[in-house]
Amino acid sequence: MEVNKSTDLNERMIDLMIEQDEIIEHVSSIREKLRGLGLTWNRFRGNAIFGVIAHYLQRHLPDDVKLVKLAWIEGCATEFDILIVDKNAKPFDFTDAYPKEQVKLLIEIKGSGVFYKREEVKKRLSEMFEKWKNETGKPALYLSIWEAKAHAKEVQDALGNDTAFILQIENEEITWGEWERFLNKVNALIRPVANNSCMTTRSNQPDIFVLY
């Protein structure tokens, strides 16, 4: 992507536009390389896409938190794509599940958008995010790298522009500034509590995950 630096955009905005373009290119490449290989590759594709987002997102996080991929939160059966947790957070022994008090934010990542029928998108997304809120008590964000035009409005109507972020809608122009908007929201959600860690001393005995 060529960015005209003679414009009045500041350097940070230009850098984030370049990042947004690189993210879209990386994810598109992953999707293309794995196209037609079957459903058995879906989890690997997701893992690779989460890795792309993690690579760019962690550049913009404060020092007292860290990013973890494919993890759980105490009391919730869902495996989350990305969690932002305390810098010194530790999962329960023998698991990738983190105590609630150590989690700041959960992020749902979609490389190719939702696969629900259009008329189901709003209801199913709303219910899913409400369930996560009730079970974890933590804020959640939705980041889609690419979303079908027929679904984009339904997603934003279901979750609101403060929760849903779409970097590109189908084959239309990239939604420039959306990556920056996402980063601003992430930091707004984690910074108010970033210095109020609820870490507790862990004993030498296994800390077994409690389901309820």
Q: What is the pLDDT of residues 123-148, one digit of tens each?
A: 999 999 999 999 999 999 999 999 98
**26-30, 38-42, 96-100, 179-183: least confident range:** 38-42
Higher local confidence (pLDDT), 18 or 5? 18
Is 159 contained in some domain? yes
Predicted local confidence at residue 193, as pLDDT: 46
CA 103, distance to chain mean position in Å, is: 14
Whether 199 is covered by a domain: the verdict is: no
Query: Is residue 32 situated within a structural domain?
Result: yes
- Evaluate if residue 194 carries a pLDDT over 60: no
Tell me whether residue 151 is in a domain: yes
Q: Is residue 26 part of a domain?
A: yes
Local confidence band at 1 (pLDDT 50, 70, 90 cut-offs): low
Could you tell me which residue, 148 or 22, shows the higher pLDDT? Answer: 22
Cβ 189 vs Cβ 162: under 8 Å: no
| 200 CB-near residues (< 8 Å, 6+ apart) | 101
- Our count of domains for the chain comes to 1
Task: Give the contacts of 190 (CB within 8 A, at least 6 positions apart).
Answer: 61, 62, 65, 84, 104, 105
- 171 or 125, greater pLDDT: 125
User: pLDDT confidence of 4, banded at 50, 70, 90?
Assistant: low
Q: Does 204 fall in a domain?
A: no
The predicted model scores a pTM of 0.83
Q: Which residues of 189-201 are buried (b: 16+ CB within 10 A; e: fewer)?
A: bbeeebeebeeee
Determine the structural domain holding residue 123 and report its residue range.
11-193
Within a domain: 86? yes
